[in-house]
Chain A
Amino acid sequence: MSEQKGYQLTHLQQLEAESIFIMREVAAQFGKPALLFSGGKDSIVMVRLAQKAFWPAKLPFPLVHVDTGHNFDETIQFRDDLANDVGAELVVASVQEEIDAGRAKEETGPNPSRNRLQIPALLNAIEKNQYDACLGGARRDEEKARAKERFFSHRNSFGEWDPKNQRPELWNLFNGKMDFGEHFRIFPLSNWTEMDVWQYIKLENIPLPSIYFSHEREFVRRSGVLLGKCEHITLLEGEAWESGNVRCRTVGDMTCTGMVESVANNVDDIIEEVAAARQTERGGRVDDKRSETAMEDRKKEGYF
């Protein structure tokens, strides 16, 4: 990024500098950090920022992916290539294994979601590998419970978040002290908006998985959301598969990631679309719509 006026950073440069600062604090303050990598655009931006923070050294933490087994193929391929390119260790925590071991129970119904089942898989991965800090790409502008998050967010030994009793966090002073068995979730992108992320992707020329761009796909309309055709979704009465040009605004599990009808097939067009959007990017997330405080409730239990 270049453009700037005398001793004045653009707001995107300020955000970048802040995120890099946070990542370095994590490397310095914790013994065994990890970067939670979802395969979405925010995690991809996180990897780029981590490269910048530690260049010319490699990332001082692994990428940890909680694989629901219901991911888009493109996401998995992209994940493997990216880890390989940046020379980072990739750790995969599998929801299927949790189910097989009887520690998690599959939902039933027309679109059984494994979204919630990521919680035990994640918490077990944290415990098994003794990660004491997990970097996540969540942003405060995404959702009302996330709007309340600190950069350094404490989790007790059960992985729980206590939103009513968060530590004060002043200036750029981050307190990562904790007792054994507890951990922190760290959100370097806290102050970024969806638009900031896309502008950064454009400026930095960051490659993204193809599902972010318009492509033809079969889908079903369900409660105002478009769900891509896959083996995990069964049609309800009155529903039918349709076909059209769609793309994802966020990427998660196939059963809960809504797509939008779009012909935007490059970053500039997506930026135009984001600017004109009347729905939030998580507006298509079935997992958030389950109740008024669905995100808060999951976060309290240890969700991302």
Chain B
Amino acid sequence: MSTDTKGYLDMDLLRFTTAGSVDDGKSTLIGRLLYDCKSIFEDQWEAVEQSSKQRGDENVNLALLTDGLRSEREQGITIDVAYRYFATPKRKFIIADTPGHIQYTRNMVTGASTANLAIILIDARNGVIEQTCRHSFIASLLQIQHIVVCVNKMDLVDWSEDRYNEIVEQYKEFASRLDVPHIDFIPISALLGDNVVDRSKNMDWFKGSPLLYMLETVYIGNEHNHVDARFPVQWVIRPHSDEYHDFRGYAGRVAGGVFKPGDEITVLPSGFQSRIRGVHDIGGDLEEAYAPMSVSLTLEDEIDISRGDMIVKQNNPPESSQQIEAMIVWFSSDASLVERGRYTIRHTTNEAKCLLKEMKYKVDINTLHKIEDDREVRLNDIARVSLQTSAPIHFDRYRRNRATGSFVLVDEQSNNTVAAGMIVG
């Protein structure tokens, strides 16, 4: 890792998540990756050695490096996402190690929602199973552009090339129905470190590169939209000071496109038009702002704007509608999604009431076919729905813009986040 400030800032950042079924070896893999990259501190290592000994584990249990909660250690599973940070001379990484247990799918979605790449683990003994499919489909829905499938525990199948190829075929057959442009495969042993950082000596039949090399070199596309100008207003800054008496700044984070002084803009939902006077941050006036910068905008005209409004360019508005078509992942174990059910929808900085008008179909995770006869959407189900909102929502399709195409549903009784939604139209 470069420590001089210029070199440090020039490093790219890759955010990746682990996925796959319970016990497939996700946490062990992350532990191994960190250990072999020498990213474990002495005190962390000693603590993990100590805990492994107390638990009676034969070797140091690498999963304990991320499974930090008491209940996780008691049960030997991951319950919630652990975030880990490390850097090699080539890149900086943010890892989200997510749980494989179906009960905690919502935590897997949490970790995956901000990832550029997903590592999907498969236990070589079991091959592709339902949870592999579910997580892959979720990654695809979230528009993660790159999946690396690690066929793990190769040590338990005699490092068999045939078994590996069989699983690769199995996965490819399923993945042909997914919307993921790049899929790579690596046979590994997370436990022993084969093909994680160093090339495996046990599988010389594998000609590809080890996992770390791949993570260091994969292309990281720009995840932000720099075309459609979208500025959801978060907060209005009124200083009430002598120096800035008339300052009225609209604070927010650019969700798409580029904003410059002089740009002709429209404010939604009011439709009022004006021009940008300035783009500001504490250092002074900026020439432009683009996603995902946090800035404040001032306008030429005094118009009524508040949180939840969206500033856009006049020639390129988003869709504004009270009807939304979306794919959702349902998170609540207490309540199923019901037609005519009422929720609060949070979309950008906006919030409205919404009504579930129609549940169109659920998706069969194994085949990705539509299920039309079972109408009840339960925990971890994925469904296509139509929503009606109490006020217009200003959106783009999720495929075009993650920031303006995503939403969550909040249950008004429990205050819980009960669904993640991706707008399809």
Contacts and interface: CB of A to CB of B under 8 A. Distances in A.
B253 A168 contact: no
Given A164-B71, A175-B346, A296-B70, A169 B110 contact: yes
B1 interface: yes
Given A164-B79, A277-B41, A292-B47, A272 B66 contact: no
Interface string A8-49: 111111101110110011011000000000000000000000
Contacts of A169: 110, 417
A101 interface: no
Given A51-B282, A58-B239, A283 B109 contact: no
B85 A193 contact: yes
A303 to B, nearest CB: 15
B9 A177 contact: no
Given A28-B307, A57-B239, A283-B41, A168 B346 contact: no
Interface string A238-261: 000000000000000000000000
Interface in A253-304: 271-272, 275, 277-280, 283, 292-293, 296-297
Given A53-B251, A171-B403, A177-B415, A11 B11 contact: yes
Interface in A80-113: none
A295 B418 CA distance: 29
A141 interface: yes
Interface in B220-249: 222, 224, 226, 234-235, 237-241, 243-244, 247, 249
Given A147-B84, A169-B417, A17 B407 contact: no
B281 A52 contact: yes
A62 interface: no
A193 B95 CA distance: 13
Given A53-B294, A56-B243, A175-B415, A147 B9 contact: no
B240 A14 contact: no
Nearest to B12: A11
A224 to B, nearest CB: 9
A141 B81 CA distance: 13
A163 B239 contact: no
Given A53-B294, A163-B80, A170 B43 contact: no
Contacts of B315: none
Interface in A171-190: 171-173, 175, 177-179, 190
A153 to B, nearest CB: 11
A232 interface: no
A56 B247 contact: yes
B1 A190 contact: no
A296 B68 contact: yes
Interface string B178-190: 0000000000000
B9 A171 contact: no
A245 to B, nearest CB: 21
Contact of A278 (B42, B73, B79, B416): B42
B10 A10 contact: yes
Contacts of B280: 55
B160 interface: no
A237 interface: no
A77 B235 CA distance: 33
Contacts of B102: none
A168 B83 contact: no
A231 interface: no
A173 B81 contact: no
Contact of B234 (A3, A12, A21, A51): A21
Q: Summarize B's interface: helix, strand, loop or mixed.
A: mixed
A148 interface: yes
Nearest to A190: B83
A219 B82 CA distance: 36
Contacts of A150: 110
A54 interface: yes
B80 A166 contact: yes
Contacts of B81: 148
Contacts of A13: 293
Identify the interface centre among A14, A24, A202, A297: most chain B CB within 10 Å of its CB.
A24
A199 B5 contact: yes
A3 B68 contact: no
A125 interface: no
Nearest to A25: B234
B306 to A, nearest CB: 10
A145 interface: yes
Contacts of A166: 80, 107
A140 interface: yes
A25 B224 CA distance: 20
Given A56-B244, A145-B69, A148-B69, A7 B258 contact: yes
A168 B331 contact: yes
Interface in A192-210: 193, 195, 199, 202-203
B71 to A, nearest CB: 6
A17 B243 contact: no
Interface in B377-424: 402-403, 406-408, 410, 415-417, 420
A55 B249 CA distance: 9
Contacts of A275: 1, 3
B282 A52 contact: yes
A271 B5 CA distance: 9
Contact of B42 (A271, A279, A293): A279
Nearest to B308: A28
A222 interface: no
B290 interface: yes
Q: Looking at B226, B280, B417, which has the most chain A CB atoms within 10 Å of its CB? A: B417
Contacts of B92: 11
Contacts of A145: 68-69
Nearest to B105: A168
Nearest to B41: A280
B80 A164 contact: yes
Nearest to B406: A171
Nearest to B94: A191
11 contacts: A7-B290, A14-B13, A20-B294, A54-B251, A140-B85, A143-B68, A148-B68, A148-B82, A168-B109, A178-B415, A199-B5
Question: What are the 10 tightest A-B residue pairs by CB atom distance, in nearest-first order?
Answer: A144-B68, A20-B294, A283-B43, A177-B415, A57-B239, A168-B106, A10-B9, A55-B282, A11-B13, A170-B113
Interface of B: 1, 3, 5-6, 8-13, 41-44, 47, 50-51, 65-66, 68-71, 73, 79-85, 87, 92, 94, 106-107, 109-110, 113-114, 222, 224, 226, 234-235, 237-241, 243-244, 247, 249, 251-253, 258, 280-282, 290, 292-294, 296, 307, 331, 344, 346-347, 349, 402-403, 406-408, 410, 415-417, 420
